[in-house]
Structure 1
Protein backbone atom coordinates (compact mmCIF):
# COMPACT_ATOMS: atom_id res chain seq x y z
CA UNK A 1 0.00 0.00 0.00
CA UNK A 2 1.18 3.52 -0.78
CA UNK A 3 1.98 5.13 2.59
CA UNK A 4 -0.97 7.20 3.81
CA UNK A 5 -3.37 5.77 1.22
CA UNK A 6 -5.66 4.38 3.89
CA UNK A 7 -9.12 5.27 2.55
CA UNK A 8 -11.37 2.46 1.35
CA UNK A 9 -11.62 2.25 -2.44
CA UNK A 10 -15.35 3.02 -2.45
CA UNK A 11 -14.93 6.21 -0.41
CA UNK A 12 -11.67 7.45 -1.93
CA UNK A 13 -11.19 10.75 -3.74
CA UNK A 14 -7.88 9.51 -5.20
CA UNK A 15 -6.99 5.92 -6.04
CA UNK A 16 -3.45 4.65 -6.53
CA UNK A 17 -3.23 1.87 -9.12
CA UNK A 18 -0.01 0.04 -9.92
CA UNK A 19 0.69 -1.05 -13.50
CA UNK A 20 3.97 -3.02 -13.46
CA UNK A 21 4.21 -3.45 -17.23
CA UNK A 22 7.73 -4.28 -18.45
CA UNK A 23 7.09 -5.61 -21.94
CA UNK A 24 8.77 -3.26 -24.43
CA UNK A 25 11.66 -1.65 -22.54
CA UNK A 26 14.39 -1.06 -25.11
CA UNK A 27 17.47 -0.68 -22.90
CA UNK A 28 17.42 -1.39 -19.16
CA UNK A 29 14.41 -3.42 -18.00
CA UNK A 30 13.00 -3.44 -14.49
CA UNK A 31 9.85 -1.30 -14.63
CA UNK A 32 7.92 -4.31 -13.33
CA UNK A 33 9.39 -3.41 -9.96
CA UNK A 34 8.41 0.25 -10.24
CA UNK A 35 5.07 0.40 -8.36
CA UNK A 36 6.30 -1.55 -5.33
CA UNK A 37 9.55 0.39 -5.30
CA UNK A 38 7.76 3.75 -5.33
CA UNK A 39 5.55 2.63 -2.47
CA UNK A 40 8.57 1.45 -0.47
CA UNK A 41 10.63 4.61 -0.89
CA UNK A 42 7.68 6.80 0.07
CA UNK A 43 7.64 5.25 3.55
CA UNK A 44 9.84 7.95 5.08
CA UNK A 45 7.77 10.97 4.03
CA UNK A 46 5.98 12.96 6.72
CA UNK A 47 2.21 12.88 6.53
CA UNK A 48 1.92 16.64 7.04
CA UNK A 49 2.47 19.12 4.20
CA UNK A 50 3.20 22.65 5.42
CA UNK A 51 2.56 24.35 2.06
CA UNK A 52 -1.07 23.22 1.92
CA UNK A 53 -1.52 22.77 5.69
CA UNK A 54 -2.91 19.29 5.07
CA UNK A 55 -2.16 15.67 5.79
CA UNK A 56 -1.80 13.12 3.02
CA UNK A 57 -3.74 10.55 5.06
CA UNK A 58 -6.66 13.00 5.23
CA UNK A 59 -6.94 13.59 1.47
CA UNK A 60 -9.00 10.46 0.87
CA UNK A 61 -6.35 8.46 -0.98
CA UNK A 62 -6.84 4.72 -1.42
CA UNK A 63 -4.56 2.09 -2.96
CA UNK A 64 -6.21 -0.50 -5.20
CA UNK A 65 -2.99 -2.51 -5.60
CA UNK A 66 -1.52 -3.59 -8.91
CA UNK A 67 -3.21 -4.63 -12.15
CA UNK A 68 -0.94 -7.46 -13.13
CA UNK A 69 0.14 -7.47 -16.81
CA UNK A 70 0.34 -10.28 -19.31
CA UNK A 71 1.96 -10.76 -22.73
CA UNK A 72 -0.79 -9.19 -24.86
CA UNK A 73 -0.02 -5.49 -24.36
CA UNK A 74 -3.06 -4.01 -26.19
CA UNK A 75 -5.42 -6.33 -24.28
CA UNK A 76 -3.72 -5.45 -21.01
CA UNK A 77 -4.01 -1.73 -21.71
CA UNK A 78 -7.72 -2.09 -22.45
CA UNK A 79 -8.19 -3.95 -19.17
CA UNK A 80 -6.14 -1.38 -17.27
CA UNK A 81 -8.15 1.44 -18.84
CA UNK A 82 -11.37 -0.21 -17.67
CA UNK A 83 -10.02 -0.42 -14.12
CA UNK A 84 -9.01 3.24 -14.20
CA UNK A 85 -12.32 4.27 -15.78
CA UNK A 86 -14.13 2.68 -12.87
CA UNK A 87 -12.16 4.99 -10.58
CA UNK A 88 -13.21 8.03 -12.62
CA UNK A 89 -16.86 6.85 -12.67
CA UNK A 90 -16.74 6.91 -8.88
CA UNK A 91 -15.72 10.60 -9.04
CA UNK A 92 -12.18 9.79 -7.92
CA UNK A 93 -8.89 10.72 -9.58
CA UNK A 94 -6.69 7.82 -10.73
CA UNK A 95 -3.04 7.99 -9.67
CA UNK A 96 -1.21 5.48 -11.84
CA UNK A 97 2.19 4.02 -10.91
CA UNK A 98 4.16 2.50 -13.80
CA UNK A 99 5.50 0.39 -15.21
CA UNK A 100 6.76 1.43 -18.61
CA UNK A 101 5.38 4.57 -20.21
CA UNK A 102 2.99 2.58 -22.41
CA UNK A 103 0.58 2.43 -19.45
CA UNK A 104 -0.15 6.14 -19.90
CA UNK A 105 -2.28 5.11 -22.88
CA UNK A 106 -4.66 3.39 -20.46
CA UNK A 107 -4.80 6.40 -18.16
CA UNK A 108 -5.59 8.73 -21.04
CA UNK A 109 -8.18 6.34 -22.44
CA UNK A 110 -9.87 6.18 -19.05
CA UNK A 111 -10.26 9.92 -18.42
CA UNK A 112 -10.44 11.24 -22.02
CA UNK A 113 -8.63 14.58 -21.54
CA UNK A 114 -8.32 17.43 -24.01
CA UNK A 115 -4.62 17.96 -23.30
CA UNK A 116 -1.83 15.56 -22.39
CA UNK A 117 1.00 17.19 -20.44
CA UNK A 118 4.09 14.98 -20.30
CA UNK A 119 7.46 15.43 -18.67
CA UNK A 120 9.74 13.24 -20.75
CA UNK A 121 13.26 13.09 -22.15
CA UNK A 122 11.91 11.51 -25.31
CA UNK A 123 9.25 12.65 -27.74
CA UNK A 124 7.59 9.19 -27.82
CA UNK A 125 6.03 10.16 -31.15
CA UNK A 126 7.12 7.16 -33.19
CA UNK A 127 4.49 5.43 -35.28
CA UNK A 128 6.21 2.17 -34.37
CA UNK A 129 9.51 1.04 -32.86
CA UNK A 130 11.02 -2.09 -34.42
CA UNK A 131 7.62 -2.65 -36.01
CA UNK A 132 5.72 -2.45 -32.71
CA UNK A 133 3.20 0.42 -32.42
CA UNK A 134 2.70 -0.43 -28.72
CA UNK A 135 6.32 0.18 -27.75
CA UNK A 136 6.81 2.71 -24.97
CA UNK A 137 8.50 5.00 -27.53
CA UNK A 138 5.12 5.42 -29.25
CA UNK A 139 2.82 6.28 -26.34
CA UNK A 140 2.32 10.01 -26.99
CA UNK A 141 1.70 9.27 -30.68
CA UNK A 142 -0.92 6.67 -29.74
CA UNK A 143 -2.67 9.12 -27.43
CA UNK A 144 -2.81 11.77 -30.15
CA UNK A 145 -3.62 9.62 -33.16
CA UNK A 146 -5.69 6.82 -31.63
CA UNK A 147 -7.38 8.38 -28.60
CA UNK A 148 -8.12 11.80 -30.05
CA UNK A 149 -6.24 13.94 -27.54
CA UNK A 150 -6.44 17.48 -28.91
CA UNK A 151 -2.83 18.30 -28.16
CA UNK A 152 0.22 17.20 -26.25
CA UNK A 153 2.73 19.36 -24.38
CA UNK A 154 6.03 17.52 -23.95
CA UNK A 155 8.19 19.21 -21.32
CA UNK A 156 11.86 18.31 -21.12
CA UNK A 157 12.14 16.50 -24.45
CA UNK A 158 15.69 16.49 -25.75
CA UNK A 159 15.90 13.57 -28.15
CA UNK A 160 13.92 11.88 -30.88
CA UNK A 161 14.16 10.49 -34.38
CA UNK A 162 13.93 12.77 -37.41
CA UNK A 163 10.41 11.50 -38.08
CA UNK A 164 9.41 12.28 -34.50
CA UNK A 165 10.68 15.85 -34.75
CA UNK A 166 8.70 16.20 -37.97
CA UNK A 167 5.57 14.98 -36.14
CA UNK A 168 6.34 17.36 -33.27
CA UNK A 169 6.16 20.28 -35.71
CA UNK A 170 2.42 19.69 -36.18
CA UNK A 171 -0.03 22.06 -34.52
CA UNK A 172 -1.20 19.50 -31.95
CA UNK A 173 2.23 19.14 -30.32
CA UNK A 174 4.20 21.62 -28.23
CA UNK A 175 7.74 20.74 -27.18
CA UNK A 176 9.26 22.61 -24.24
CA UNK A 177 13.02 22.08 -24.12
CA UNK A 178 14.67 21.55 -20.71
CA UNK A 179 16.27 25.00 -20.82
CA UNK A 180 12.82 26.56 -21.39
CA UNK A 181 10.90 24.48 -18.86
CA UNK A 182 11.34 26.84 -15.92
CA UNK A 183 9.90 29.74 -17.92
CA UNK A 184 6.98 27.59 -19.15
CA UNK A 185 6.11 26.49 -15.63
CA UNK A 186 6.44 30.01 -14.26
CA UNK A 187 3.99 31.24 -16.91
CA UNK A 188 1.26 29.14 -15.36
CA UNK A 189 -0.85 30.97 -12.85
CA UNK A 190 -1.91 29.50 -9.53
CA UNK A 191 -4.36 26.98 -10.94
CA UNK A 192 -2.74 26.23 -14.28
CA UNK A 193 -5.14 28.33 -16.37
CA UNK A 194 -5.73 31.93 -17.32
CA UNK A 195 -4.33 34.37 -19.82
CA UNK A 196 -0.70 33.64 -18.95
CA UNK A 197 -1.07 29.89 -19.14
CA UNK A 198 -1.14 27.45 -22.05
CA UNK A 199 -4.63 26.07 -21.36
CA UNK A 200 -8.01 27.30 -22.53
CA UNK A 201 -10.89 27.67 -20.10
CA UNK A 202 -12.59 24.35 -19.53
CA UNK A 203 -9.83 22.21 -21.02
CA UNK A 204 -9.24 18.96 -19.15
CA UNK A 205 -5.71 17.68 -18.64
CA UNK A 206 -3.94 14.41 -18.00
CA UNK A 207 -0.49 14.73 -16.40
CA UNK A 208 2.17 12.09 -17.04
CA UNK A 209 5.63 12.15 -15.51
CA UNK A 210 8.27 9.92 -17.07
CA UNK A 211 11.14 10.00 -14.58
CA UNK A 212 13.65 9.99 -17.43
CA UNK A 213 12.48 13.56 -18.04
CA UNK A 214 14.59 14.46 -15.03
CA UNK A 215 18.32 14.60 -15.46
CA UNK A 216 19.70 11.10 -14.71
CA UNK A 217 21.89 12.62 -12.01
CA UNK A 218 18.67 12.89 -9.99
CA UNK A 219 16.78 9.79 -11.18
CA UNK A 220 19.19 7.17 -12.53
CA UNK A 221 16.80 4.28 -11.92
CA UNK A 222 15.09 4.34 -15.29
CA UNK A 223 15.29 2.42 -18.53
CA UNK A 224 16.67 4.93 -21.02
CA UNK A 225 18.72 7.67 -19.38
CA UNK A 226 19.24 10.89 -21.32
CA UNK A 227 21.59 13.56 -19.92
CA UNK A 228 20.92 17.32 -19.69
CA UNK A 229 17.43 16.96 -18.28
CA UNK A 230 15.02 18.68 -15.93
CA UNK A 231 15.68 19.75 -12.36
CA UNK A 232 13.47 18.03 -9.76
CA UNK A 233 12.05 21.33 -8.48
CA UNK A 234 10.96 22.26 -12.00
CA UNK A 235 9.03 18.99 -12.33
CA UNK A 236 7.58 19.46 -8.85
CA UNK A 237 6.34 22.91 -9.77
CA UNK A 238 4.94 21.64 -13.06
CA UNK A 239 2.93 19.03 -11.16
CA UNK A 240 1.72 21.60 -8.64
CA UNK A 241 0.59 23.98 -11.39
CA UNK A 242 -1.11 21.40 -13.63
CA UNK A 243 -2.76 19.32 -10.89
CA UNK A 244 -5.81 21.57 -10.35
CA UNK A 245 -6.87 21.06 -13.99
CA UNK A 246 -6.00 17.37 -14.20
CA UNK A 247 -8.41 14.44 -14.22
CA UNK A 248 -5.64 11.86 -13.96
CA UNK A 249 -1.96 11.49 -13.14
CA UNK A 250 0.79 8.97 -13.59
CA UNK A 251 4.48 8.61 -12.86
CA UNK A 252 6.25 5.94 -14.89
CA UNK A 253 9.52 4.31 -15.97
CA UNK A 254 10.94 3.73 -12.48
CA UNK A 255 13.07 0.61 -12.30
CA UNK A 256 15.32 -1.05 -9.72
CA UNK A 257 18.71 0.02 -11.08
CA UNK A 258 19.60 2.70 -8.55
CA UNK A 259 19.57 3.20 -4.79
CA UNK A 260 16.02 4.49 -4.75
CA UNK A 261 16.51 7.99 -6.15
CA UNK A 262 14.00 7.59 -9.01
CA UNK A 263 11.41 5.88 -6.80
CA UNK A 264 11.80 8.52 -4.10
CA UNK A 265 11.16 11.41 -6.47
CA UNK A 266 8.26 9.53 -8.09
CA UNK A 267 6.53 9.02 -4.76
CA UNK A 268 7.07 12.65 -3.83
CA UNK A 269 5.58 13.84 -7.13
CA UNK A 270 2.49 11.69 -6.63
CA UNK A 271 2.00 13.27 -3.22
CA UNK A 272 2.55 16.77 -4.63
CA UNK A 273 -0.16 16.11 -7.20
CA UNK A 274 -2.65 14.97 -4.56
CA UNK A 275 -1.90 17.88 -2.20
CA UNK A 276 -2.24 20.46 -4.98
CA UNK A 277 -5.35 18.95 -6.55
CA UNK A 278 -7.08 18.63 -3.19
CA UNK A 279 -6.17 22.19 -2.15
CA UNK A 280 -7.66 23.57 -5.39
CA UNK A 281 -10.89 21.57 -5.21
CA UNK A 282 -11.77 21.64 -1.51
Structure 2
Protein backbone atom coordinates (compact mmCIF):
# COMPACT_ATOMS: atom_id res chain seq x y z
CA UNK A 1 0.00 0.00 0.00
CA UNK A 2 1.16 3.53 -0.76
CA UNK A 3 1.89 5.13 2.63
CA UNK A 4 -1.04 7.22 3.82
CA UNK A 5 -3.49 5.75 1.29
CA UNK A 6 -5.74 4.51 4.08
CA UNK A 7 -9.23 5.33 2.78
CA UNK A 8 -11.73 2.62 1.94
CA UNK A 9 -12.56 2.46 -1.76
CA UNK A 10 -16.17 3.54 -1.21
CA UNK A 11 -15.05 6.72 0.54
CA UNK A 12 -12.04 7.52 -1.64
CA UNK A 13 -11.56 10.77 -3.52
CA UNK A 14 -8.32 9.46 -5.07
CA UNK A 15 -7.51 5.92 -6.14
CA UNK A 16 -3.96 4.75 -6.78
CA UNK A 17 -3.67 2.04 -9.45
CA UNK A 18 -0.39 0.25 -10.12
CA UNK A 19 0.19 -0.55 -13.79
CA UNK A 20 3.49 -2.48 -14.05
CA UNK A 21 3.54 -2.89 -17.84
CA UNK A 22 7.08 -3.44 -19.16
CA UNK A 23 6.92 -4.77 -22.70
CA UNK A 24 8.14 -2.03 -25.06
CA UNK A 25 11.04 -0.51 -23.12
CA UNK A 26 13.78 0.06 -25.67
CA UNK A 27 16.92 0.46 -23.54
CA UNK A 28 16.88 -0.31 -19.82
CA UNK A 29 13.88 -2.44 -18.78
CA UNK A 30 12.55 -2.65 -15.26
CA UNK A 31 9.43 -0.47 -15.18
CA UNK A 32 7.54 -3.54 -13.95
CA UNK A 33 9.14 -2.74 -10.60
CA UNK A 34 8.03 0.90 -10.69
CA UNK A 35 4.81 0.70 -8.65
CA UNK A 36 6.46 -1.23 -5.83
CA UNK A 37 9.43 1.12 -5.73
CA UNK A 38 7.23 4.20 -5.67
CA UNK A 39 5.40 2.78 -2.66
CA UNK A 40 8.62 1.65 -0.99
CA UNK A 41 10.46 4.96 -1.22
CA UNK A 42 7.43 6.94 -0.05
CA UNK A 43 7.72 5.33 3.38
CA UNK A 44 10.11 7.98 4.65
CA UNK A 45 7.81 10.92 3.91
CA UNK A 46 6.10 12.77 6.76
CA UNK A 47 2.32 12.65 6.58
CA UNK A 48 2.03 16.42 7.07
CA UNK A 49 2.58 18.91 4.24
CA UNK A 50 3.46 22.42 5.43
CA UNK A 51 2.77 23.96 2.01
CA UNK A 52 -0.94 23.10 2.18
CA UNK A 53 -1.30 22.54 5.94
CA UNK A 54 -2.78 19.11 5.23
CA UNK A 55 -2.12 15.47 6.12
CA UNK A 56 -1.91 13.00 3.24
CA UNK A 57 -3.69 10.33 5.28
CA UNK A 58 -6.70 12.64 5.72
CA UNK A 59 -7.25 13.25 2.00
CA UNK A 60 -9.18 10.04 1.29
CA UNK A 61 -6.64 8.24 -0.88
CA UNK A 62 -7.11 4.51 -1.57
CA UNK A 63 -4.55 2.12 -3.05
CA UNK A 64 -6.22 -0.32 -5.42
CA UNK A 65 -3.01 -2.31 -5.77
CA UNK A 66 -1.48 -3.41 -9.06
CA UNK A 67 -3.32 -4.46 -12.20
CA UNK A 68 -1.18 -7.45 -13.11
CA UNK A 69 0.38 -6.94 -16.54
CA UNK A 70 0.79 -9.45 -19.34
CA UNK A 71 2.58 -9.41 -22.69
CA UNK A 72 -0.31 -8.34 -24.91
CA UNK A 73 -0.25 -4.55 -24.55
CA UNK A 74 -3.50 -3.96 -26.46
CA UNK A 75 -5.46 -6.35 -24.23
CA UNK A 76 -3.83 -4.97 -21.10
CA UNK A 77 -4.65 -1.38 -22.01
CA UNK A 78 -8.28 -2.33 -22.64
CA UNK A 79 -8.49 -3.94 -19.21
CA UNK A 80 -6.69 -1.06 -17.51
CA UNK A 81 -9.03 1.41 -19.22
CA UNK A 82 -11.91 -0.40 -17.56
CA UNK A 83 -10.27 -0.12 -14.15
CA UNK A 84 -9.72 3.62 -14.60
CA UNK A 85 -13.29 4.05 -15.85
CA UNK A 86 -14.57 2.37 -12.69
CA UNK A 87 -12.57 4.86 -10.60
CA UNK A 88 -14.07 7.78 -12.51
CA UNK A 89 -17.60 6.36 -12.14
CA UNK A 90 -16.98 6.26 -8.39
CA UNK A 91 -16.31 10.02 -8.51
CA UNK A 92 -12.66 9.57 -7.62
CA UNK A 93 -9.50 10.79 -9.34
CA UNK A 94 -7.29 7.99 -10.73
CA UNK A 95 -3.57 8.09 -9.93
CA UNK A 96 -1.57 5.61 -12.03
CA UNK A 97 1.80 4.23 -11.01
CA UNK A 98 3.73 2.93 -14.04
CA UNK A 99 4.98 0.89 -15.61
CA UNK A 100 6.08 2.12 -18.98
CA UNK A 101 4.50 5.26 -20.40
CA UNK A 102 2.16 3.21 -22.58
CA UNK A 103 -0.18 2.80 -19.59
CA UNK A 104 -1.12 6.47 -19.93
CA UNK A 105 -3.03 5.59 -23.10
CA UNK A 106 -5.55 3.61 -21.06
CA UNK A 107 -6.18 6.51 -18.70
CA UNK A 108 -6.54 9.01 -21.54
CA UNK A 109 -9.09 6.81 -23.26
CA UNK A 110 -11.05 6.37 -20.04
CA UNK A 111 -11.08 10.02 -18.94
CA UNK A 112 -11.39 11.79 -22.32
CA UNK A 113 -9.55 15.00 -21.33
CA UNK A 114 -9.49 18.17 -23.38
CA UNK A 115 -5.76 18.73 -22.85
CA UNK A 116 -2.89 16.32 -22.31
CA UNK A 117 -0.09 17.86 -20.25
CA UNK A 118 3.08 15.85 -19.91
CA UNK A 119 6.49 16.24 -18.31
CA UNK A 120 8.75 14.22 -20.60
CA UNK A 121 12.24 14.24 -22.09
CA UNK A 122 10.87 12.72 -25.29
CA UNK A 123 8.23 13.98 -27.69
CA UNK A 124 6.52 10.56 -27.90
CA UNK A 125 4.82 11.66 -31.12
CA UNK A 126 5.75 8.63 -33.21
CA UNK A 127 3.09 6.72 -35.08
CA UNK A 128 5.01 3.53 -34.23
CA UNK A 129 8.44 2.44 -33.04
CA UNK A 130 9.99 -0.62 -34.67
CA UNK A 131 6.54 -1.39 -36.05
CA UNK A 132 4.88 -1.23 -32.62
CA UNK A 133 1.97 1.23 -32.54
CA UNK A 134 1.63 0.77 -28.77
CA UNK A 135 5.22 1.63 -27.91
CA UNK A 136 6.00 3.95 -25.02
CA UNK A 137 7.31 6.27 -27.75
CA UNK A 138 3.80 6.81 -29.16
CA UNK A 139 1.95 8.07 -26.08
CA UNK A 140 1.51 11.74 -27.01
CA UNK A 141 0.34 10.76 -30.48
CA UNK A 142 -2.29 8.46 -28.98
CA UNK A 143 -3.28 11.18 -26.53
CA UNK A 144 -4.02 13.48 -29.46
CA UNK A 145 -6.49 10.91 -30.78
CA UNK A 146 -8.58 11.87 -27.74
CA UNK A 147 -7.45 15.28 -26.46
CA UNK A 148 -7.62 18.49 -28.46
CA UNK A 149 -4.16 19.62 -27.41
CA UNK A 150 -0.88 18.32 -26.00
CA UNK A 151 1.54 20.38 -23.92
CA UNK A 152 4.90 18.66 -23.43
CA UNK A 153 7.22 20.21 -20.87
CA UNK A 154 10.91 19.34 -20.73
CA UNK A 155 11.06 17.72 -24.17
CA UNK A 156 14.54 17.74 -25.63
CA UNK A 157 14.74 14.84 -28.05
CA UNK A 158 12.76 13.14 -30.80
CA UNK A 159 12.95 12.07 -34.41
CA UNK A 160 12.83 14.58 -37.26
CA UNK A 161 9.26 13.53 -38.04
CA UNK A 162 8.27 14.07 -34.41
CA UNK A 163 9.70 17.58 -34.36
CA UNK A 164 7.77 18.35 -37.54
CA UNK A 165 4.59 17.00 -35.94
CA UNK A 166 5.28 19.14 -32.88
CA UNK A 167 5.08 22.29 -35.01
CA UNK A 168 1.36 21.76 -35.62
CA UNK A 169 -1.16 23.92 -33.77
CA UNK A 170 -2.36 21.20 -31.38
CA UNK A 171 1.09 20.66 -29.82
CA UNK A 172 3.03 23.00 -27.53
CA UNK A 173 6.63 22.21 -26.57
CA UNK A 174 8.20 23.86 -23.55
CA UNK A 175 11.96 23.12 -23.57
CA UNK A 176 13.73 22.44 -20.27
CA UNK A 177 15.23 25.92 -20.04
CA UNK A 178 11.73 27.44 -20.21
CA UNK A 179 9.98 25.20 -17.67
CA UNK A 180 11.11 27.35 -14.75
CA UNK A 181 8.48 30.05 -14.43
CA UNK A 182 6.25 28.56 -17.14
CA UNK A 183 2.74 30.02 -16.98
CA UNK A 184 -0.01 27.87 -18.52
CA UNK A 185 -2.54 29.51 -20.83
CA UNK A 186 -5.59 30.93 -19.07
CA UNK A 187 -7.81 28.63 -21.12
CA UNK A 188 -6.39 25.64 -19.25
CA UNK A 189 -8.46 26.57 -16.20
CA UNK A 190 -11.62 25.94 -18.23
CA UNK A 191 -10.53 22.56 -19.60
CA UNK A 192 -10.35 18.99 -18.33
CA UNK A 193 -6.64 18.21 -18.13
CA UNK A 194 -4.77 14.93 -17.78
CA UNK A 195 -1.30 15.29 -16.23
CA UNK A 196 1.36 12.68 -16.94
CA UNK A 197 4.83 12.64 -15.38
CA UNK A 198 7.42 10.61 -17.25
CA UNK A 199 10.22 10.57 -14.72
CA UNK A 200 12.81 10.95 -17.50
CA UNK A 201 11.75 14.58 -17.83
CA UNK A 202 14.08 15.09 -14.89
CA UNK A 203 17.76 15.44 -15.59
CA UNK A 204 19.41 12.05 -14.94
CA UNK A 205 21.24 13.66 -12.02
CA UNK A 206 17.87 13.72 -10.21
CA UNK A 207 16.30 10.49 -11.50
CA UNK A 208 18.74 7.97 -13.01
CA UNK A 209 16.37 5.05 -12.50
CA UNK A 210 14.55 5.15 -15.83
CA UNK A 211 14.70 3.41 -19.16
CA UNK A 212 15.94 6.05 -21.59
CA UNK A 213 18.00 8.73 -19.91
CA UNK A 214 18.40 12.10 -21.56
CA UNK A 215 20.78 14.78 -20.17
CA UNK A 216 20.10 18.53 -19.86
CA UNK A 217 16.72 18.02 -18.24
CA UNK A 218 14.36 19.59 -15.75
CA UNK A 219 15.09 19.93 -12.03
CA UNK A 220 13.03 18.19 -9.40
CA UNK A 221 11.83 21.54 -8.04
CA UNK A 222 10.67 22.66 -11.48
CA UNK A 223 8.72 19.42 -11.85
CA UNK A 224 7.11 20.01 -8.47
CA UNK A 225 6.04 23.51 -9.51
CA UNK A 226 4.43 22.20 -12.71
CA UNK A 227 2.52 19.54 -10.77
CA UNK A 228 1.29 22.10 -8.25
CA UNK A 229 0.17 24.39 -11.06
CA UNK A 230 -1.65 21.80 -13.16
CA UNK A 231 -3.12 19.57 -10.45
CA UNK A 232 -6.16 21.75 -9.65
CA UNK A 233 -7.34 21.44 -13.27
CA UNK A 234 -6.65 17.71 -13.65
CA UNK A 235 -9.03 14.78 -13.95
CA UNK A 236 -6.24 12.23 -13.66
CA UNK A 237 -2.53 11.82 -13.03
CA UNK A 238 0.27 9.34 -13.48
CA UNK A 239 3.95 8.79 -12.73
CA UNK A 240 5.61 6.44 -15.22
CA UNK A 241 8.95 5.03 -16.41
CA UNK A 242 10.45 4.49 -12.95
CA UNK A 243 12.61 1.37 -12.87
CA UNK A 244 14.94 -0.36 -10.40
CA UNK A 245 18.29 0.80 -11.81
CA UNK A 246 19.23 3.38 -9.20
CA UNK A 247 19.30 3.73 -5.42
CA UNK A 248 15.77 5.05 -5.24
CA UNK A 249 16.23 8.57 -6.59
CA UNK A 250 13.65 8.21 -9.39
CA UNK A 251 11.09 6.46 -7.18
CA UNK A 252 11.52 9.00 -4.39
CA UNK A 253 10.96 11.88 -6.80
CA UNK A 254 7.99 10.19 -8.46
CA UNK A 255 6.31 9.35 -5.16
CA UNK A 256 6.82 12.87 -3.89
CA UNK A 257 5.28 14.31 -7.07
CA UNK A 258 2.24 12.08 -6.65
CA UNK A 259 1.77 13.44 -3.14
CA UNK A 260 2.25 17.00 -4.42
CA UNK A 261 -0.51 16.35 -6.94
CA UNK A 262 -2.92 15.14 -4.27
CA UNK A 263 -2.14 17.99 -1.87
CA UNK A 264 -2.55 20.62 -4.61
CA UNK A 265 -5.70 19.03 -6.05
CA UNK A 266 -7.41 18.46 -2.71
CA UNK A 267 -6.74 21.90 -1.27
CA UNK A 268 -7.45 24.00 -4.37
Equivalent position to 2:224, from 230, 233, 236? 236
1:165 is matched with: 163
Shift of the alpha carbon at 1:204? 0.6
2:255 is matched with: 267
- Superposition map of 1:1-282 within 5 A: 1-145=1-145, 148-184=146-182, 187-188=183-184, 197-280=185-268
d(CA) in 2 for partners of 1:113, 1:218: 30
Structure 1 residues 51 and 183 mapped into 2: Cα distance closer, same or farther (>3 Å)? closer
Shift of the alpha carbon at 1:71? 1.4
What SS class does the counterpart of residue 7 from structure 2 fall into? coil
Shift of the alpha carbon at 1:183? 2.8
Unaligned runs of at least 5 residues, structure 2: none
Shift of the alpha carbon at 1:198? 4.8
d(CA) in 1 for partners of 2:110, 2:2: 22
Extract structure 1 runs of 4+ deviating beyond 4 A: none
TM-score by length of 2: 0.98
Report Cα offsets for 1:82-101 as digits up to 9, x if no partner.
10110011110000000000
d(CA) in 1 for partners of 2:58, 2:186: 31
Shift of the alpha carbon at 1:260? 0.1
Unaligned runs of at least 5 residues, structure 1: 189-196
TM-score by length of 1: 0.94
Shift of the alpha carbon at 1:202? 2.2
